[in-house]
Structure 1
Amino acid sequence: MAVPTEASVREAGPYRPPALTGLIDLLDRHARDRPRSRALVVTGNRVPLSYGALAALAADVAARLGRTGLRRGDVVGLVSANTAEFVVALLGAARAGLVVAPADPALTASQLTDRFEALGARAVLRGPAEAGAARDEIPAWPLRVDISHAGTATVTLDTGAPALRPVRGAAHELSDRDALVLCTAGTTGLAKMVPLTHANVAASVRDICATYALGPGDATVAVMPFFHGHGLFAALLASLASGGCVLLPERGRFTAHTFWDDVRAVSASWFTAVPTIHEILLDRSAAEYPGPRAAPLKFVRSCSAPLNTATQRALERTFGAPLLSAYGMTESTHQVTSEPLPEQGYLKQGSAGPSTGVRLRVVDPHGRTCPPGTRGEVWVQGPTVTRGYLGNPEGTAHSFTDGWFRTGDLGTLDEDGYLFLTGHIKNLINRGGEKISSEHVEDILAGCPGVAEAAVFPVPDAHYGQRVGAAVVVRAGENLGSEQILRYCRNRLSAVEVPDRLDVVAALPHTAKGGLDRQALAGRYAR
């Protein structure tokens, strides 16, 4: 793949990101100027839903919610898979001036109840539930969207029962300037609750659109769940704001065996996913990838977890498109940095790219800015950064300093402002005073031929305090043992970084958004 020259970068034409103020007017321009253009493609039959029809459904829901007694700035929960119901509920509630709190539909009824009570949600909107789903057990207002093959659509919202909840929890800290509340991690009400204003949303969406030059000619397939920032901002909202199209897979969930059919059905020009899903698609590519002519991707994006460099290059060779690594977090309304499109900037191997709209610092333990190339903690400031955590003054005081968010991630900035991540402070292993990055060792392990996925964790040790443990998943059909993998590591890691214990396992635990579940990992293997 050719690296762009300075002249080619300068010749690229200017790009104008969409003008919007938040979720409320996200659809307005396209519903007015291009009402018949596809906004969504939904259901197993891949039925298109136009911008005009989507805007009408959102307006209908807003009007119905306005008659329930809900007031501007009230919080409503949203429990739904990646379906038309999620999109219509989100945009309709936003038009009604409500603050939306999406939640993972896989949570249990008690977990959902705890989360919404901690937030102080006055009502919960629920999309169609699968048989036996726990979300059926919580009081909620069912919402359903019916779309004909001709693309006409109607919405049903049953607000008759239950009655509105009394306001409790952290809702008093919100106003109608807020658009969303997302949770950073965890599966209970103790998870950190992040308020995001309409201004945060607008800045994030504009930055993502500008980074990838998204426009009406682009389309994508929704891979990541919308209750997390990755799927919500990068795939859904940026596409709709730019006038593109989003295909929502059948039942609203990513399925590898139908993914490329979905890509072809919508003529997708790009998609975004976590490394785990990229690995799955790469492993199945020999049998399932239809080739660049059938799937002419402009680029592929990876975010939410580190992507092994060897895997990135293998994906680029297979898919015939640049794979761009991005870095973001809930507290920054998702994206902070990204590798640029080849025609817009330079690609630097191993980097997460330059800032895409925020200010970055790398600081030492005393809060002093590190010189280029020196490792420290990554701090972020800018229009996408939240004001703090809801109902958690201690967490806010710890993580926010003079408007800067202290990410807890370790990295370096080079002279050009490109960020190179090296791990997370909480994931450092202290082996007799030597601080070892779990992510760095994982990156080396994942580069071993035959290794599909790797996880590194501290193992308690009476002498060193901690030793390096690893669990590795081997690709199907590979005859690879722990000693072969360790031999590979010894040639690429320092002696203290080489795992003291390495287990070959069938699978690793993951969070709902596809990253390693390090808490589950420690409980299962770090003994």
Structure 2
Amino acid sequence: MNRGAGTPDPKGGIAPQTVRVANLAHFLTRNARRLGGAPAIIRGDRVWTWGQMDARVSALAAGLREMGVGKGDRILIQARNSHQMFESMIAAFRLGAVWVPANFRQSPEEVAWLARSSGASLMICDAEFAGHAAACDSVARHLTIGGGADGFDALVDRHMGTHVPPADVGRDDPCWFFFTSGTTGRPKAAVLTHGQLTFVLLNHLHDLMPGMTPADRSLCVAPLSHGAGIHQLVQLAAGVPTILLPDAAFDPDVVWRLVAEHRVTNMFTVPTIVKMLVEHPSVDRHDHSSLRHVIYAGAPMYRADQRRALDKLGPVLVQYFGLGEVTGNITVLPPSEHDVDDDRMRVGSCGYERTGMHVQIQDGTGAEVPAGTTGEICVAGPAVFAGYHDNPEANAKAFRDGWFRTGDLGHMDGEGFVYITGRESDMFISGGSNVYPREIEEKLLDYPGVAEAAVLGVPDAKWGEVGLAVCVAEPGQAPDAEAIRAFLKGRMSGYKVPARILFLDAMPKSGYGKITKKIIRETLRERGLLSSETA
């Protein structure tokens, strides 16, 4: 456990003691006092004020406490974005319990595994996910959103007016099991704590969205179970209302209409969603001049997509690099570092290290490498998580001499800007040379008619491994694979040019809209598109 300031001991040192911190739920209490009548959550024609949200969260906490939930208990959530999902988060924090959100797109079997691995004692579930609830037979108690007389809202109504103060918490007390996406196996539960998340929220406010006030407006377009949930906590800390999409289905026209209607100033998403938004014709039908920060993370944005977004939206893009284990706090590339002109931008950089964080590029022994040299991106600082829940083997691999090892390869220039080459697991070796797919993918997207691209390393009898490019064509276009290979040969070394180029109607993506090599490889295998050599 981390220790903080204490009292002098007889030997002249300081006797350590547990550091108490403010419970994250106190942000809601503070807003209710200061901004009680101001909007907190907006969905369609419904508005919940900070005062109403605080009363509902307190009532929910009282109901959960009556059900036996206490400090340290895990609450599994299987739900789409809603005000109830947000309330479950803050009520869990208020009790000192641990919020365990699942991606609502996961299967019943996947969520059942999350329930068992997290040790959840309660499951809160949308009524539409009855199959998921049934699969989670290891969880003794269930509470259904939309469950009628025995459901979530009925529990809140029964305890309305009951005040539940935030539980006493220390800096290292867990509050959120943030499950990784599981690109290299089963998802792991990264343990986020009250003290760590407090730093994260302040850092987001300082580095990503400086100058925010309650006059700002945030639009939520991604699942609250992961990065968008952290983003909404930032809005909570600043007293900024969040607008939720009125329907479950993602519709760019609805997004842009809400931006115009509510004068939205910030939103968080992933590069593929930004691409969808700026390529949709509705972007030109609605006023989006209120936007100041369009934050993208989860994966680097390809340069062609950056240019298109900057042309449409202006200087509002903010990139951050940071895994769930560091809760997004590794680097930042602010609007001032984005430009449509390649000569005025560090093309390919994910930015410089975040305030209060220390980033190093290290070799296989843990030694820092010189500027410009490729190595593993490692990070230390208050945003680093407490470790993986009940997974000592993963913890041993993830940490070295106090540094968290991201598993991402990259280099840093002389001014401290970081460039991601790709995941260590994505790199392949062709004829004895390291090949980093990111570089090839960027060039593929420069070819007319190619909308999306991903490059995999696959076995080859002669070279050991060669590249397999998976592409999606722009609507109405049919690029020729051999013409693309010829295009690439003039722009990179021959061993980097993919041996095969396949076109799919749509790029396989994760439940969060990210392109992951694991999912693409599984899709190709299922469709019989990997030869016997590469299977």
Q: Which TM-score applies when normalising by structure 1?
A: 0.85
**What is the 5 A alignment of 1:343-358?**
348-357=346-355, 358=357
Write the distance in 1 (CA, Å) between the matches of 2:510 and 2:338: 33
Write the distance in 2 (CA, Å) between the matches of 1:484 and 1:157: 63
Q: What is the match of residue 4 of structure 1? A: none
Write the distance in 1 (CA, Å) between the matches of 2:299 and 2:147: 34
Write the distance in 2 (CA, Å) between the matches of 1:415 and 1:175: 35
Q: Do 1:268 and 1:297's aligned partners in 2 also have CA atoms closer than 8 Å?
A: yes
Q: What is the match of residue 389 of structure 2? A: 390
Q: Do 1:89 and 1:143's aligned partners in 2 also have CA atoms closer than 8 Å?
A: no
Report the Cα offset of residue 446 of structure 1.
Answer: 2.0
Q: Do 1:215 and 1:242's aligned partners in 2 also have CA atoms closer than 8 Å?
A: yes
Report the Cα offset of residue 217 of structure 1.
Answer: 2.3
Choose between structure 1 and 2 for higher RCO, CA contacts under 8 A separated by at least 6 residues.
1
Q: What is the match of residue 151 of structure 1? A: none
Q: What is the match of residue 306 of structure 2? A: 312
Q: What is the match of residue 49 of structure 1? A: 48
Q: Do 1:97 and 1:176's aligned partners in 2 also have CA atoms closer than 8 Å?
A: no
Write the distance in 2 (CA, Å) between the matches of 1:409 and 1:37: 42
Write the distance in 1 (CA, Å) between the matches of 2:224 and 2:243: 13
Report the Cα offset of residue 246 of structure 1.
Answer: 1.2
| 1:253-289 alpha-carbon deviations (Å, 9 max, x no partner) | 53223111121222111222111112212221x3443
Report the Cα offset of residue 142 of structure 1.
Answer: 1.4
| 1:39-74 alpha-carbon deviations (Å, 9 max, x no partner) | 1111xx342221111111111111111112222111
Amino acid at match of 1:298: R
| 1:287-338 alpha-carbon deviations (Å, 9 max, x no partner) | 44335x4542113221101211121021111112332221011110223211
**Cα distance, 1:188–1:493 mapped onto 2, change above 3 Å:** closer
SS of 2:242's equivalent? strand
Q: Do 2:172 and 2:386's aligned partners in 1 also have CA atoms closer than 8 Å?
A: no
Amino acid at match of 2:188: K
| 1:138-196 alpha-carbon deviations (Å, 9 max, x no partner) | 462113599xxxxxxx9333899xxxxxxxxxxxxx99811100111239993211111
Q: What is the match of residue 215 of structure 1? A: 213
Write the distance in 2 (CA, Å) between the matches of 1:133 and 1:262: 33
SS of 1:352's equivalent? strand
Q: What is the match of residue 10 of structure 2? A: none
Mapped pair 1:186 → 2:185: no
Write the distance in 2 (CA, Å) between the matches of 1:189 and 1:78: 21
Amino acid at match of 1:231: A
Q: What is the match of residue 267 of structure 1? A: 263
Write the distance in 2 (CA, Å) between the matches of 1:263 and 1:63: 36
Q: What is the match of residue 105 of structure 2? A: 106
Q: Do 1:127 and 1:142's aligned partners in 2 also have CA atoms closer than 8 Å?
A: yes
Q: Do 2:315 and 2:336's aligned partners in 1 also have CA atoms closer than 8 Å?
A: no
**Cα distance, 1:394–1:494 mapped onto 2, change above 3 Å:** same
Write the distance in 2 (CA, Å) between the matches of 1:176 and 1:420: 32
Q: What is the match of residue 37 of structure 2? A: 36
Q: What is the match of residue 332 of structure 2? A: 338
Amino acid at match of 1:372: A
SS of 2:110's equivalent? helix
RMSD of aligned alpha carbons: 2.7
Write the distance in 2 (CA, Å) between the matches of 1:277 and 1:417: 28
Write the distance in 1 (CA, Å) between the matches of 2:156 and 2:190: 29
**Cα distance, 1:77–1:480 mapped onto 2, change above 3 Å:** same
Write the distance in 2 (CA, Å) between the matches of 1:189 and 1:473: 26
Q: What is the match of residue 494 of structure 1? A: 493
Q: What is the match of residue 143 of structure 1? A: 145
Q: What is the match of residue 316 of structure 2? A: 322
Report the Cα offset of residue 133 of structure 1.
Answer: 5.9
Q: Do 2:353 and 2:359's aligned partners in 1 also have CA atoms closer than 8 Å?
A: yes
Amino acid at match of 1:141: L
Write the distance in 2 (CA, Å) between the matches of 1:421 and 1:392: 27
Report the count of equivalent residues.
481
Question: Mean Cα displacement is larger for which, 340-349 or 366-375?
Answer: 340-349
Mapped pair 1:232 → 2:232: no
Q: Do 1:118 and 1:189's aligned partners in 2 also have CA atoms closer than 8 Å?
A: no
**Cα distance, 1:176–1:309 mapped onto 2, change above 3 Å:** closer
Q: What is the match of residue 246 of structure 2? A: 250
Amino acid at match of 1:264: A
SS of 2:198's equivalent? helix
**What is the 5 A alignment of 1:358-507?**
358-507=357-506
Write the distance in 1 (CA, Å) between the matches of 2:253 and 2:338: 33
| Displacement over 4 Å in runs of 4+ | 135-139, 343-347
**Cα distance, 1:324–1:382 mapped onto 2, change above 3 Å:** same
Report the Cα offset of residue 518 of structure 1.
Answer: 1.7
SS of 1:181's equivalent? strand
